[in-house]
Amino acid sequence: MTQMANMNANKFGSWFIPTSWFSRINDRLEHSVAAAFKYVIFESLRLDMQRRGKDLLTSYPARAVRDVDTTQIPAMSDETESRPVAELDESFQLSLYMQELGDYRVGDKVEEDIISTTKLSFVDVEGTQAQRDREAQRVPVILRYFPSAADEVEAQFRQAFAKTQEQFLGSVNKAFGHVPLSGGEIDSLKFESLAMLFQKQNESFPVSTNRAALWAAGDYDKGYQEFLATELRQAMAPVIHPEVIPENFRFGATVRVIPVANKNEPISEQEAVKTNHNFSRTNFASLVIVRRNFINRFSGEDRDVAKFLVNLLEPNSAIDEAITQKLRDERTADVWVVCNFEPGQVVARRGQVIDRKTMTAIEQLKDKAVVGKLQELQAKQQAAVGELQQLVAENKTNKEIGAELGVVEGTVKIHVTSIFGKLGVSDRTRALLTAIKRGIVQID
């Protein structure tokens, strides 16, 4: 180092690097070289470890020791000249364990018992979902109830009744030139034909022969109109739920009913939580039952009227799916089914079909095995870095270092060459100076 300092001083003079500077650091270079080599050597070994980890992750089926191609192991091929192949088997113990776990998929049958080698803890996805579904049913379905639906049904009926009556009397006035008609005119064939033709052409409220005669005589049938309006209101009195209910919102033992002004009025989550109107599902009626019961209350020629009116009946409630789902999500957010296995515990028995939970356990076993092996490799390689650092700092040759570490000189040369390549230099002195320049080594 002193000679190099003198050469630089003679060559560059005091314009660039004073000779005194080299003299001051000359006794520190030997100590600093170790730090420079430690950095680049560890980088080389770290990348080597990553390559091995990737190989282990992508090559689960193991090969027997006698089948190992040692020339494919980075930076270790020429160690086989002086070390038994059996010593290399340590790196493939993980692969042997992976082979025991097998390359299973969901639906496969376990060939041999799978035993946990470590403590496992993971979320059972299917079990969690099943438990959440059960817990969600404790939150009643939110049903928006609009009593004003009865008013709408009655209004439609009265409009249809009045319009039909108006059209019929218009036809009578056109045919006879006046209304009301006399008894003789009503009993005439002309009126009978007019009534029959109107019945065929009319698509609104049904008009029977007797009702046509009453209207033609000047009886506007107010009593019958009120009777029908009352029947419709009675039919709309219970809470009528939609006929088609989504699978996720089937009624439980109780349903929470929230009255609203009309079917389009929204409700808030706070309102749904505060409302305590929970009713037994037996208090609700389906539209099919309501319509059937309505028709059964009529007979004779009124049956045709009932068949027309029944189409006016409709559900007066609607499931608020968004609010219901939000309340259920909040209730089940903290529900988890966790599976735990202790070391030595059976994960799956021979012949057992692999389900999603078992597959998760197997995958976690593989992951933990890989992590453990990588940590072991890292610890060993860090120890090797420390030992190699000490030997380089002592200015030992590659051959001497190889003798100390129990490896051949070629292996040492590979690592030293890797150091030079990373720093872009060709010898140890330039490697040290480059490390100082890059800040890898600090000179006090």
Residue 109 token pair = 């049958």
CA distance 132 to 223: 56
Predicted confidence at residue 63, as pLDDT, reads 33
Predicted confidence at residue 83, as pLDDT, reads 39
Per-chain mean pLDDT for the chain: 77
What is the DSSP pairing of strand 254-259 with strand 278-280?
Answer: antiparallel
Predicted confidence at residue 369, as pLDDT, reads 75
pLDDT tens per residue, range 335-363 = 999 999 999 999 889 999 989 888 888 88
CA distance 159 to 157: 5
CA distance 347 to 293: 59
Identity of the residue numbered 52: R
**pLDDT average, residue stretch 70-96:** 40
DSSP H helices, 88-221, are 93-101, 125-136, 149-176, 183-186, 189-201, 209-216
pLDDT tier, 391 (very low <50, low <70, confident <90, very high otherwise): low
Nearest Cα neighbor of 231 from 334, 341, 154 is 154
CA distance 184 to 202: 25
Residue corresponding to tokens 């129990």 = 406
More confident residue, 374 or 267: 267
Predicted confidence at residue 59, as pLDDT, reads 47
Predicted confidence at residue 49, as pLDDT, reads 54
Predicted confidence at residue 104, as pLDDT, reads 85
Predicted confidence at residue 382, as pLDDT, reads 66
Nearest Cα neighbor of 218 from 165, 148, 139 is 165
Predicted confidence at residue 189, as pLDDT, reads 95
Peptide bond into 180 cis (omega under 30): yes
Predicted confidence at residue 279, as pLDDT, reads 81
Quote the DSSP letter at residue 344: T
Q: CA 359, 364, 366, 369: dihedral to nearest 10 degrees?
A: -160
Beta strand spans in 300-352 (E) = 317-319, 338-341, 346-348
Q: Taking a C-beta distance cutoff of 8 angstroms, is the pair 106, 356 a contact?
A: yes
Q: Does residue 24 surpass a pLDDT of 50?
A: no
Residue 190 token pair = 């002309």
Identity of the residue numbered 374: L
Question: pTM for the full model?
Answer: 0.54
CA distance 15 to 13: 6
How many other CB atoms are there within 10 angstroms of residue 317's CB atom? 23
Q: CA 123, 124, 129, 132: dihedral to nearest 10 degrees?
A: -60
| Boundaries of every domain in the chain | 36-117+345-437, 141-330
Nearest Cα neighbor of 416 from 404, 400, 394, 431 is 431
Predicted confidence at residue 158, as pLDDT, reads 97
Nearest Cα neighbor of 40 from 434, 396, 397, 423 is 423
Residue 357 token pair = 């939970």
CA distance 315 to 236: 8
Q: Taking a C-beta distance cutoff of 8 angstroms, is the pair 104, 110 a contact?
A: yes
Q: Does residue 159 surpass a pLDDT of 60?
A: yes
Predicted confidence at residue 160, as pLDDT, reads 96
**pLDDT average, residue stretch 58-87:** 37
**pLDDT average, residue stretch 365-384:** 73
**pLDDT average, residue stretch 314-329:** 93
Q: Taking a C-beta distance cutoff of 8 angstroms, is the pair 256, 140 a contact?
A: yes
